[in-house]
Amino acid sequence: MKSAHSLFFAFLVFSGCVFQPVFEPDEQENPNNPSGELALELETVAQNLEIPWSLGFLPDGKLIFTERGGKIKIVEQGTIHEVEGVAHLGESGLQGLAIDPGFSGNGFVYVYYTYSEGIGLFNRVSRFELKDNSMHGETILIEGIPGNVFHDGGRIKFGPDKKLYIATGDAGTEELSQDKNSLAGKMLRINADGSIPPDNPFGSAVFSMGHRNVQGFDWRPVTGELLATEHGPSKHDEVNAIEKGGNYGWPDKLCKTGTPSTGFVEAVVCFDGWTMAPSGAAFYSGDTLPLDNAFVYAGLRGEQLRALKFENGKIVSDEKVLDGIGRIRDVALGPDGFLYIATNNTDGRGTPRPEDDRIYRVVAK
């Protein structure tokens, strides 16, 4: 959590977006070709992992992460907890991880995971207490989120307003994304105790709707805009500026199609020429890497790390900054000012390499 976030809550629920028109990545770019000489290089932090999904940092600087099969681990200490009841089928399982803004006083850690009930799959967000390198108790904050073997969303983060934001997928039932009464295909927003903030736009946990499968999001330092990555159907992957009460069109509108008069919010970046399958994301802030406060986001099918850069509040470039390590699931800003990324080559869709999966630290050459 960036300390500047707490100063800029007023920007969180803004209406309108300064990022129009939609920015177009290079459609001729082959996402799987090596980038050549890069200004970044990698250091291995952990290896031989089983589908690491979400990265986070504790106040003492320790790196904590989830593995989709159900384990929560701390680097150099190994497994600290295995969440009971995780249903790991296809893309489902233990996914998102968030650290409470008041962790130093309460020790709370939050996770998003898939569970089974009867013959169905659902997702929930639960809170645990981390104490003496082990997790204690489970308090379920929200559950019954439609689940499936694919399109489960799963990313969770605390915003600058100290509310917990939750990305959900359409769970394979497209029409749920346009149903305000369903938790599927949405960005949700709840209080840390699971209650509903009174200023949510629909009187429920729903903050925005019309999403297919949001996989990553973060807030821009200083200005507070919330950007999110989203999977399209084969192509039409997106980066969206999330507005309170906004409708992002799925399944009725794909990015760069239709007209503004439909009432759907247009994506700020649209991959309609090739498949990126964007996942975890983080705004970079600091001066240890040549990323100029960019929105840095991971690619699964695209097998790369990209940086969306701004000047005077407008997007000026969206470029590949790193590749050659396969599928990248998550990216997080470390307390040391470097980026950390997790591969997902063992998730059944990649090509595992020796000692995969890994967590890397991204440093400057």
Average pLDDT over residues 275-296: 95
Average pLDDT over residues 282-311: 95
pLDDT value of position 33? 42
Contact 54, 95 (CB under 8 A): yes
What one-character DSSP code corresponds to residue 266?
P
Task: Provide the pLDDT confidence category of residue 10 given band limits of 50, 70 and 90.
Answer: very low
In the predicted structure, residue 5 carries a pLDDT above the cut 70? no
**Which sequence spans correspond to the domains of the chain?**
3-364
Range of lowest pLDDT (194-203, 286-295, 296-305, 328-337): 286-295
Task: Provide the pLDDT confidence category of residue 292 given band limits of 50, 70 and 90.
Answer: confident
Q: Which residues lie closer than 8 Å to 342 by C-beta, 6 or more apart?
A: 49, 52, 53, 55, 65, 280, 328, 329, 330, 331, 357, 358, 359, 360
pLDDT in tens, 175-204: 999 999 999 999 999 999 999 999 999 999
Question: Which CATH architecture group holds 3-364?
Answer: 6 Propeller (2.120)
DSSP string, 191-245: -TTSPPPTT-TTSSSEEEB--SBEEEEEEPTTT--EEEEE--SSS-EEEEE--TT
Antiparallel, parallel or unpaired: β 237-241 and 269-271: antiparallel
pLDDT in tens, 55-66: 999 999 999 999
pLDDT value of position 21? 58
In the predicted structure, residue 19 carries a pLDDT above the cut 60? no
Task: Provide the pLDDT confidence category of residue 39 given band limits of 50, 70 and 90.
Answer: confident
pLDDT in tens, 120-158: 999 999 999 999 999 999 999 999 999 999 999 999 999
Which residue type sits at 342? A
Q: Which residues lie closer than 8 Å to 311 by C-beta, 6 or more apart?
A: none
pTM above 0.95, yes or no: no
CB count in 10 Å sphere of residue 66: 30
Within 13 Å, how many C-alpha atoms sit on residue 130's CB side? 29
pLDDT value of position 64? 98
In the predicted structure, residue 2 carries a pLDDT above the cut 50? no
